[in-house]
């Protein structure tokens, strides 16, 4: 016997073997359909008896194995069921002849046989025969199971007669010597006891098959004693194995073959059959008086009654070890030894004694069965793998499964089975803590041995390629690179990526699920580590494009919030944080940005193509980018952009990339260690876009603490007026329907007289609504009037009782003391110039508020801010002011000492007076005849107002009113001749 039956288990010793085979040409699917129905009759309750007969079916059985039927009767083919098709009566003789030829193969052991004929009609089919059943077709055969039961009962009758014949042999005839095929029959010494022991063991087998468990146990015990005495080790091992099988059937009525091959508990088992025997139970001590002269006792009731013949669970294993050691003495009994190891392992698996079971399996590995074919080697390693899996040795199971896979493509095989190899390799994955889902490797520490896992993945890649499936190769290689990146050396990273690029040049990798022929699905493998993303941040729009809500409408869209600051019931997790709504808005149709901080873990430059955003919620047009990250770059900022095409709430779910020819969709929820402040943002309806250009040069020199769209800068003399022309162009896709302009001076330390910025907006508003691509212009008047008189070091001649009116120090009429004329002074020294070179700064913000389109309907607008930075130089100083009486009592002469601090020649003029020319840094006196001022006629605040107003404020208002009256009567203005500009005070 050269081919072991790896599916054997201990309870198979209780079964009778029936072979089911086709005769002639029978469709394979129809044959196995009938075979399945026949094999469903696995146990039959015998009529007029409380016993069950168990049947084991095989559709293929080597005749050489049948030769071991005397050694162990469950190996003997006792029944034959042949299935054939016969289309006409002419074919019947040939069919019948074939059936008889098939019976001849097993004639030495056969108890009974049946022939099932399909397709024959007519006189022949109407014959009543016990050994032949006729059916018109494969569908109309309802009584197949009933015929099989009748067939099994006929087998039982023969079995029972043989058992009784062997057990009650009192003829005094010589007991035949039972032998195995390789034994010689010329034994020397103890011949009679050898015959007795072997026959006793044979009767035990028959009793076990006939479901007489206690009788079988007694016979096995007697056989052990007899065979041990004559050192008949091969048959002693068989007797011990029979004793173990009977004890296993007693202790484990459900069987040891597992869930798929397990047997139904026998209804004829003793009431205590399911209970474990007490550990102290030993072999029965056989009474020699119970044996007849021939060594076979006719009545075994005395032994059954006075001895507990069943082995304990622990003793079962010990006897198995002993039996296997005896089998090991015979080279030709390798198959018997191997099958005994397998049976012992199945028993130990039920007893949960994995370590002892592994010892039996280790012994089975080294059993030499001679020259095995490649197919037999594959079967052997596969069964070893299944048995190791059965006892929980998952990695050992995976090892033998992988050996079986490699055997499928051994060099000696003419046509290597790469598909079988690939299938077996896939089955090894769980044993090495591998799965085909990259999500299993995204969290926690790495499980398993990375070096072994990488080797296995490489073998999957190679097997996929040899199968002619490059898509599978790409998927497994992508999985290797993604999950084992931390364990790859720099050289291995380079080799793997080069291989991947070679594969993807023929078959690009994607995010589709690959379904294998057996239904197994390979999930996609996104490259979340190429590059590694550390943070994701949604960016607000630029200042000039940010939408603002009309204040009166803010409450409409506000969600109801809890009045509590913090609730301990709320569970904060990363998912909620990622879905948290951000407190700014994006605008439909505008380019929006998301900033990623990425890291390249590869030892060489990483090229990422087609990198864009993955979103949900609104229609979004992603604008992909390509980037090149230097080797081991550290954190590197990458900005991904896109345009929302509809309004609503948008969620940034992740990003997509194309690396090494593999397209990946990387979702943020699957990324560990990614920092984000939220990925949900509201997209409001579209708004117009306004672009601003000015006639003055732009400048970044500003201290305005406000985010501005742009800034213009200009340098003026005090009292000078400058025009700023602003062009507003609609560069968006919506009409500008509303436009507002406001200004705010942000310089607080300087007091400004008059209007700093002034404009007329009516002309611009007349062009609304402003269509896309159209523009309007607006003129802004910049007029600066500051008070430079606060510098006492410059105004040395100012009297104690003088007043300051818009930068003009005026002396009291009573004071007429004159100092030396300023024009006689030389004020050309560098220090003098430095004193008068002080420059003041004035800054303001022009704020354009505009709206239109669908965003205006929802109450949104945009703001465009222009900063105005003005550097102001002093123009004319009145260093001394005094008055003299005129010829008329209603008039007086106003004497002004005027100093020109600039580097230009300027003229000063007043009403009804000649122009005064002042050179750079020159001081002259100017006399102006004016009517006396009547400050009493100025409007006075009423008593109620004066009562509740600050006195200092009242004084400032009074001085301002007086200054305005003086300025209107004097009409003093100056101009720089070289600039040809006129400035009025």
Contact 815, 882 (CB under 8 A): yes
User: Checking DSSP bridges between strand 15-23 and strand 77-85, what pairing results, if any?
Assistant: parallel
What does the pLDDT look like over 442-459, one tens digit per residue?
A: 777 888 899 999 999 999
Kindly indicate the confidence band of residue 569, based on its pLDDT and cuts at 50, 70 and 90: very low
Q: Is 854 exposed, middle or buried (0-12, 13-18, 19+ CB in 10 A)?
A: middle
Per-residue confidence (pLDDT) for residue 815, from 0 to 100: 27
Tokens matching residue 705: 């603490």
Instruction: Report the distance separating Cα 587 and Cα 547, nearest Å.
Output: 7
Which position has the higher pLDDT, 211 or 917? 211
List of residues 6+ apart from 228 with CB closer than 8 A: 236
Which position has the higher pLDDT, 983 or 362? 362
Per-residue confidence (pLDDT) for residue 264, from 0 to 100: 55
Tokens matching residue 899: 């100093």
Which position has the higher pLDDT, 167 or 242? 242
The angle subtended at Cα 469 by Cα 464 and Cα 473, nearest 5°, is 50
What does the pLDDT look like over 917-968, one tens digit per residue?
A: 888 888 888 888 787 777 777 777 766 666 667 777 777 777 777 777 777 7
List of residues 6+ apart from 272 with CB closer than 8 A: none
What does the pLDDT look like over 54-65, one tens digit per residue?
A: 999 999 998 888
What does the mean pLDDT of the chain come to?
82
Average pLDDT over residues 833-848: 72
Instruction: Report the distance separating Cα 507 and Cα 501, nearest Å.
Output: 10
The reply to whether omega before 531 is within 30° of 0 (cis) is yes
Per-residue confidence (pLDDT) for residue 558, from 0 to 100: 44
Per-residue confidence (pLDDT) for residue 111, from 0 to 100: 95
Helices 394-408/374-390 angle, 10° precision: 170
Phi, psi (5° rounding) for residue 804?
-110, 120
Strand partners, 803: 810
Kindly indicate the confidence band of residue 128, based on its pLDDT and cuts at 50, 70 and 90: confident
The alpha-helical segments, DSSP class H, found in 789-840 are 830-835
- All domains of the chain, ordered by start, with CATH? 10-167 (3.40.50), 438-522 (no CATH), 532-550+580-684 (2.60.40.10), 690-792+836-872 (2.60.40.10), 875-940+948-984 (2.60.40)
Per-residue confidence (pLDDT) for residue 246, from 0 to 100: 96
Determine the 3-state secondary structure of 879 from DSSP: strand
Average pLDDT over residues 99-121: 92
- Residue 57: how many CA atoms within 13 Å on its side-chain side? 19
Q: Is 833 exposed, middle or buried (0-12, 13-18, 19+ CB in 10 A)?
A: middle
Annotate 393-419 with three-state secondary structure.
Answer: CHHHHHHHHHHHHHHHCCCCCCCCCHH
User: Checking DSSP bridges between strand 132-135 and strand 112-118, what pairing results, if any?
Assistant: parallel
Average pLDDT over residues 115-142: 86
Per-residue confidence (pLDDT) for residue 872, from 0 to 100: 84
What does the pLDDT look like over 875-891, one tens digit per residue?
A: 887 778 888 887 777 78
Contact 432, 459 (CB under 8 A): no
Residues in the chain: 985
Residue 97 predicted with pLDDT over 90: yes
Kindly indicate the confidence band of residue 282, based on its pLDDT and cuts at 50, 70 and 90: very low
What does the pLDDT look like over 317-376, one tens digit per residue?
A: 999 999 999 999 998 899 999 999 999 999 999 999 999 999 999 999 988 888 888 888
Per-residue confidence (pLDDT) for residue 275, from 0 to 100: 36
Which residue's entry shows tokens 């039927």?
69
Residue 88 predicted with pLDDT over 80: yes
Average pLDDT over residues 743-772: 84
The reply to whether omega before 769 is within 30° of 0 (cis) is yes
Helices 213-229/233-251 angle, 10° precision: 160
Residue 911 predicted with pLDDT over 80: no
Question: SS3 helix, strand, coil % of the chain, rounded to 5?
Answer: 35, 25, 40
Phi, psi (5° rounding) for residue 497?
-70, -35
pTM more than 0.75: no
Instruction: Report the distance separating Cα 429 and Cα 423, nearest Å.
Output: 11
What does the pLDDT look like over 64-85, one tens digit per residue?
A: 889 999 999 999 999 999 999 9
Which position has the higher pLDDT, 184 or 473? 473
Instruction: Report the distance separating Cα 316 and Cα 345, nearest Å.
Output: 12
Give the least confident one: 61-70, 483-492, 784-793, 972-981.
784-793
Percent with pLDDT over 90 in the chain:
50
Average pLDDT over residues 682-690: 93
């Amino acid at each position: 016997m050269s081919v072991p039956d790896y599916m054997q288990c201990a309870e198979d010793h209780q079964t009778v073997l029936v072979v089911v085979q086709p005769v002639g040409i029978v469709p394979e699917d129809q044959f196995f359909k009938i075979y399945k129905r026949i094999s469903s009759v696995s146990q039959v309750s015998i009529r007029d008896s409380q016993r069950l007969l168990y049947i084991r079916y095989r559709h293929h059985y080597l005749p050489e194995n049948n030769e071991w039927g005397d050694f162990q009767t469950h190996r003997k083919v006792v029944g034959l069921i042949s299935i054939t098709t016969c289309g006409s009566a002419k074919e019947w003789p040939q069919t019948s002849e074939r059936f008889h030829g098939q019976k001849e193969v097993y004639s030495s052991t056969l108890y009974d046989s049946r022939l099932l004929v399909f397709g024959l009609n007519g006189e022949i089919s109407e014959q009543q025969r016990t050994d032949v059943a006729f059916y018109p077709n494969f569908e109309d055969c309802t009584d197949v199971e009933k015929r099989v039961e009748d067939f099994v009962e006929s087998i039982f009758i023969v079995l029972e007669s043989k058992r009784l014949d062997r057990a009650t042999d009192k003829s005094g005839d010589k007991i035949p010597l039972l032998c195995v095929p390789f034994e010689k029959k010329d034994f020397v010494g103890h011949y009679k006891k050898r015959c007795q022991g072997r026959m006793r063991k044979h009767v035990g087998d028959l009793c076990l098959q006939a479901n007489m468990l206690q009788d079988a146990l007694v016979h096995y015990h007697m056989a052990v004693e007899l065979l041990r005495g004559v050192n008949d080790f091969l048959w002693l091992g068989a007797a011990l194995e029979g004793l173990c099988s009977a004890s296993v059937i007693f202790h484990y009525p459900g069987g040891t073959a597992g869930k798929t091959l397990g047997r139904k508990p026998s209804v004829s088992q003793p009431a205590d059959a399911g209970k474990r025997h007490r550990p102290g139970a030993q072999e029965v001590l056989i009474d020699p008086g119970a044996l007849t002269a021939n060594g076979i006792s006719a009545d075994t009731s005395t032994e059954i009654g006075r001895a507990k013949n069943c082995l304990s669970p622990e003793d079962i294993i010990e006897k198995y070890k002993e039996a296997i050691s005896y089998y090991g003495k015979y080279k030709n009994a390798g198959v018997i030894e191997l099958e005994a190891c397998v049976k012992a392992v199945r028993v130990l698996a039920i007893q949960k004694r994995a370590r002892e079971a592994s010892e039996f399996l280790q012994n089975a590995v080294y059993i030499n069965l001679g020259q095995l074919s490649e197919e037999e080697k594959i079967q052997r390693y596969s069964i070893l793998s299944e048995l190791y899996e059965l006892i929980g040795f998952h990695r050992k199971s995976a090892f033998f499964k992988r050996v079986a896979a490699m055997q499928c493509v051994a060099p000696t095989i003419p046509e290597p089975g790469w598909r079988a190899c690939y299938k077996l390799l896939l089955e090894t994955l769980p044993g090495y803590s591998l799965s085909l889902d990259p999500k299993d490797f995204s969290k926690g520490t790495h499980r398993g041995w990375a070096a072994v896992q990488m080797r296995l993945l490489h073998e999957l890649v190679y097997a996929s390629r040899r199968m002619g499936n490059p898509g599978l190769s790409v998927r497994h290689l992508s999985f290797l690179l993604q999950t084992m990146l931390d364990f790859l050396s720099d050289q291995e990273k380079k080799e793997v990526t080069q291989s991947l690029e070679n594969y993807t040049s023929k078959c690009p990798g994607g995010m589709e699920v690959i379904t294998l022929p057996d239904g197994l699905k390979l999930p996609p493998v996104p490259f979340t580590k190429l590059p590694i993303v550390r943070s994701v941040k949604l960016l607000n729009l630029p200042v000039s494009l940010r939408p603002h809500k009309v204040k009166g409408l803010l409450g409409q869209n506000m969600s109801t919030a809890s009045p509590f600051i913090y609730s301990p019931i709320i569970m904060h997790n990363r998912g909620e944080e990622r879905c948290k709504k951000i407190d700014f808005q994006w605008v439909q149709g505008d380019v929006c940005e998301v900033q990623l901080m990425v890291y390249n873990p590869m030892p060489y430059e990483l090229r990422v193509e087609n990198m864009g955003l993955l979103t949900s919620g609104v229609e979004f047009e992603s604008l992909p980018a390509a980037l090149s990250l230097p080797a081991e770059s550290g954190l590197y900022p990458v900005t991904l952009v896109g345009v929302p095409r509809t309004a609503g709430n948008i969620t940034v779910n992740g990003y997509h990339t194309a690396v090494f020819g593999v397209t990946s969709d990387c979702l943020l929820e699957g990324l560990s260690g990614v920092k984000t402040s939220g990925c949900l943002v509201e997209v409001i309806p579209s708004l117009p876009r306004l672009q601003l250009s000015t006639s003055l040069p732009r400048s970044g020199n500003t201290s305005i603490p406000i985010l501005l769209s742009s800034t213009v800068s200009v340098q003026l003399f005090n009292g000078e007026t400058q025009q700023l022309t602003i062009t507003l162009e609609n560069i968006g896709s919506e009409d500008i329907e509303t436009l507002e302009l406001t200004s705010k001076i942000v310089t607080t330390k300087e007091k400004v007289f008059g209007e700093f910025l002034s404009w007329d907006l009516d002309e611009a508003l007349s062009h609304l609504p402003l269509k896309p691509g159209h523009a309007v212009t607006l003129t802004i008047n910049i007029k600066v009037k500051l008070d430079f008189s606060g510098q006492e070091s410059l105004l040395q001649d100012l009297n104690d009782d003088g007043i300051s009116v818009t930068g003009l120090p005026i002396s009291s009429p009573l004071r007429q003391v004159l100092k030396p004329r300023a024009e006689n002074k030389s004020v050309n020294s560098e220090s003098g110039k430095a004193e008068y070179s002080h420059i003041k700064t004035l800054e303001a913000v022009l704020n354009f508020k505009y709206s239109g389109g669908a965003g205006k309907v929802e109450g949104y607008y945009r703001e465009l801010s222009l900063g105005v930075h003005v550097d102001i130089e002093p123009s004319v100083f009145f260093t001394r002011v005094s008055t003299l009486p005129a010829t008329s009592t209603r008039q007086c002469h106003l004497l002004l000492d005027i100093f020109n601090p600039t580097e230009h020649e300027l003229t000063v003029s007043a009403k009804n007076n000649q122009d005064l020319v002042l050179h750079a840094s020159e001081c002259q006196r100017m006399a102006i005849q004016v009517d006396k001022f009547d400050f009493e006629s100025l409007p006075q605040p009423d008593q109620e107002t004066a009562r509740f107003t600050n006195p200092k404020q009242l004084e400032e208002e009074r001085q301002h009113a007086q200054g305005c009256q003086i300025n209107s009567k004097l009409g003093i203005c100056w101009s720089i001749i070289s600039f040809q500009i006129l400035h009025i005070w």
